[in-house]
Structure 1
Amino acid sequence: MSPAESVPEGRPEKLKRFGRLAAPAFAVYVSSMVAHLVLLALMSGPGGPGLLDRLLAWDGHLYTDIAAHGYPDSFTYGADGKPTGNNLAFFPLFPLLSRAVHTLTGLDVGIAAVVTAHLAMIAALIAVQQLMTRLYGRRTAIVALVLLAAAQPMALAFFMAYSESLFLALCAGALLAAHRKAWLTAGALALLAGLTRPAAVSIAAAITVAVAVHLYRERRLSWRPLTAVALACISTPAYLWWVGNRLHRPDAWFLIQEAGWGTHWDNGRAYVDFLRTTLTSGDGWVAVSTAVLTLGLLCATAIACRRTTWLPLIVYGCSLVVLTLGQSNFYHSKLRLLIPALVFLVPLARAIARTTNRTAAITLGAAALFGCWYGAYMLTTWHYAI
């Protein structure tokens, strides 16, 4: 070994190497953000809510309220005396980070929440890029980033004061760490995901499967993988327990979800009824497009479930799809809830990556234009929560 080869890589060299590796993720972040915001501004028109108001719409207001004032300490009731939804339905990590950004920078809490989402999105794109590169190569990874950040209908939610970008960053980071067999890191990131959204059950299942496969191959027990499973599985039940203890009722969180958003597990009955009604007699653009796009997503997910797709990624993505479509809630929120799933992007990304540069550019450009327009439409024209 030469003297030059024996010298450890210095910090400046590591930063340069990281910058080169992360450059595609930053480029996709900047271009997709600009595309989303430009279309959103064009469709907002003069005299209406500004861009910041749009990015804080719906759940964004609820997250910023938690960041500013904390959680309620009781059930809330309507004028008819029936329970209503309240902020305890929302998991704590995103508002806590938003409050931290607000405290550290002095920014308005709403701006701080948007900044938090954008920082999380940058981290998510870097993690997804590294994961997809390890699994399928650099070209497929870059295509997947464009599909993820711009082409998905409702990808705009990644750039709003919503928790989707943070959830994706933590789940993609946990999957990447598991693929590298950095078990404690994977478990810690999955634990944080469990404090971000209830759908973290999906990443807990994925980490459990990754550990099971690893232990089967190694033929011996090891405390680090088992600790990762314990960490991944503990945080979501802990928050549900905390809400139940706060309101003196074990099922308090589920009651709040049902009262506020009509959310409960129904084995997909509501989704099947929605498809049947919409595809036979529906005439609303949002309903029809949601039905068609979710069916396409299911087909892409089925195609992804093959031996060439890493099993923990299949488990994570399929679990998230099942959790989203198996619950009774607003049909027009389904596409937004599915944007962190990743798995259904794999066959599309691999197919586009095999085409010529010209074909890939035209395909991705058209898909990104549609995805950015769809999100802008849902925020400016659609009158209901996304």
Structure 2
Amino acid sequence: MTVLDLRAAELRAPLLRRAAPALLGYAAVRALGLVVLAVWSAARGTSAYTLLTARWDALWYTRVAELGYGYEVRLPNGDVHSNLAFFPLLPWLERLLHAVTPLSYADAGFTVSLLASLAAAAGIFAVADRVYGPRAGLCAVLLWAVLPVGIVQSMAYSESLFTALAAWALYALLTGRWVSAGVLAALAGLTRPVGAAVVAAVWVTGVLSFVRDRRTPGARTPAGRRVLGMLLAPLGAAGYVLWVGHRTGKGPLGYLDVQAGWRNGFDGGYAFARFVADKFTSFPSALAGAGLIVGVALLLWLHLTGIRQRQPVALLVYTGVVLALALCASSYFGSKPRLLLPAFPVLLPLARALARLRTPKSVLVTVVLAVVAAVYGAFWLNGSGPP
């Protein structure tokens, strides 16, 4: 059997079967992270489960699930933190799971996150496998798992749920399933504000496909399904934003006022640039500032590498919007690493490079990164943690 025959056999195998090694590897990395977090937390006298399910944003999601919208906190400086800032799909799922099982809202959030993280890993594999083959798909999943803030994938946060919906929406685009892409984009838009990135990917890909069809009439695809997918894509985000505007009485832009109460906004990266520049006022913090510059430069270089490697337009548009919204927002700067978690296509150039290594070397690299990520995740959550 030739190499081409083997590749053809791989492509004919069911997707879930091809993804099985990636999912097992992902589960092993996440299990390692949770074990290290449990040991670290026990040594400090804290609860690992509380850190995962009942701190920071996880509390806000469970309050929405239990009490609905309308809860807010007024800070001494006049800021108003309203739970309207949190998109509804995760708390809806928490409420549903709580209603049909004995799980508490916090337990339901943790369960949704665990299941969604596996769905996200499968979606990342499906995308990478479609573009570069199963070995690159395996490496892409493992690289996503060993990110320094990968522990967030196991928290009762919405990052895993959003990434799962985004990844499968992108896979639907790559395989020409326009209605599925539109539905998944709408659900992603109900999960996080960055759902706009998935909508942009659907719309840009759709417009380009119409242009391509006009140039090559013999390669037409059903226009009706494309149009339907494009129309469905923005309904989730637009529906929630308009509902918030109606509820607050502030019109279509009412959601921006809610975000302003959290001091979240989009300023093109000015506040983040000032934050980085301020790090250079003393030597110890200058090292952190240099690290931030290197990290941002690496992200941009990986995205440009994806462009040079001719990644599909859907991936490039999606990644570009996720990076822009994360890096150019004037929100809590400590949250930027987790806001970048959904930008998994930037890992594809690294996944291709890792896939080209001999198996022992690639395993060694992955194991080292997994240990580092597990230790850092335990240190992070037991320290400042995600805001």
TM-score by length of 2: 0.89
1:317 is aligned, of 316, 319, 326, to: 319
Identity over aligned pairs, percent = 34
Is 1:175 aligned with 2:170? yes
Asked if the contact 1:282/1:288 (under 8 Å) is kept, the reply is: no
Is 1:84 matched up with 2:85?
no
Structure 1 residue 159 and structure 2 residue 157: aligned? Answer: no
Aligned-partner Cα distance in 2 for 1:105–1:282 = 53
Cα deviation 1:268-295 (Å, max 9, x = unaligned):
1112122222256362587665454333
> CA 1:290 to 1:39, structure 2 compared with 1: closer, same or farther past 3 Å?
farther
Task: Say whether the 8 Å CA contact 2:306–2:316 is kept in structure 1.
Answer: yes
Write out aligned runs for 1:257-276 (5 A): 257-260=259-262, 262-276=263-277
Partner SS, residue 234 of structure 2 = helix
The SS at the match of 1:85 is strand
Equivalence map 1:322-361=2 (5 Å): 322-361=324-363
- Range moving further from structure 2, 38-47 or 135-144: 38-47
C-alpha contact (below 8 Å) 1:191/1:231 kept by paired residues: yes
Q: Is the deviation greater in 298-307 or in 308-317? A: 298-307
Offset at residue 19 of structure 1 (A): 4.7
**1:76–1:44 CA distance, 2 compared to 1 (3 A):** closer
Distance 1:347 1:245, change over 3 A: same
Q: Is the 8 A contact 1:54 1:379 kept in 2?
A: yes
CA deviation vs aligned residue, 1:238-292 (integer Å, no higher than 9, x gap) = 21111111111123322222222x2111111112122222256362587665454
Structure 1 partner of 2:217: none
Q: Give, as a single letter, the amino acid of the residue that structure 2 aligns with 1:60.
A: A
CA separation in 1, counterparts of 2:281 and 2:368? 29
In structure 2, do the counterparts of structure 1 residues 295 and 43 end up closer, same or farther at CA, with 3 Å as the change threshold?
farther
- Equivalent position SS for 1:381: coil
Matching of residue 118 in structure 1 with residue 129 in structure 2: no
User: What secondary structure, in the 3-state scheme, does the structure 2 residue paired with 1:327 have?
Assistant: coil
Distance in structure 1 (CA, Å) of the matches to 2:236 and 2:193: 10
Match of 1:237 in 2: 238
Please give the secondary structure, in 2, of the residue aligned with 1:162.
coil
Aligned counterparts, 1:191-340, within 5 A? 191-219=186-214, 222-250=223-251, 251-260=253-262, 262-279=263-280, 281=282, 283-284=284-285, 289-340=291-342
- Select between 217-226 and 161-170 the one with higher mean Cα deviation: 217-226
Q: 1:37 to 1:103 in 2, by over 3 A?
A: same
Shift of 1:297: 2.0
Q: Confirm or deny that 1:30 pairs with 2:27.
A: yes
User: Partner amino acid for 1:117?
Assistant: S
Matched, 1:137 2:139: no
Structure 1 gap segments, 5+ residues each = 1-15
Q: How far apart are residue 141 of structure 1 and its match?
A: 0.5
Q: State the match for 1:59 in structure 2.
A: 57
Indicate the residue corresponding to 2:123 in structure 1.
127
Residue matched to 1:97: 93
The number of residue pairs the alignment matches comes to 366
* Structure 1 residue 104: Cα displacement: 1.4
Inter-CA distance 96–256: structure 2 relative to 1 (3 Å threshold): same
Distance 1:104 1:286 in 2: 47
Q: Name the CA shift for 1:33/1:252 in 2 (closer, same or farther; >3 Å).
A: same
Tell me the CA shift for residue 32 of structure 1.
Answer: 1.7
Cα distance change of structure 1 residues 25 and 354 upon mapping to structure 2, 3 Å threshold: closer
Match in the other structure for 2:144: 148
Residue 233 to residue 378, structure 1, CA distance change in 2 (3 Å): same
**What's the secondary structure of 1:283's corresponding residue?**
helix
The 3 A distance-change label for structure 1 pair 294 and 376 is farther
TM-score (normalised: structure 1): 0.89
For residue 316 of structure 1, report the CA deviation from its aligned partner: 0.4
Structure 2 gaps of 5+ residues are 1-12, 215-219
For residue 234 of structure 2, what is the amino acid of its counterpart?
C
Give 1:127 shift: 1.3
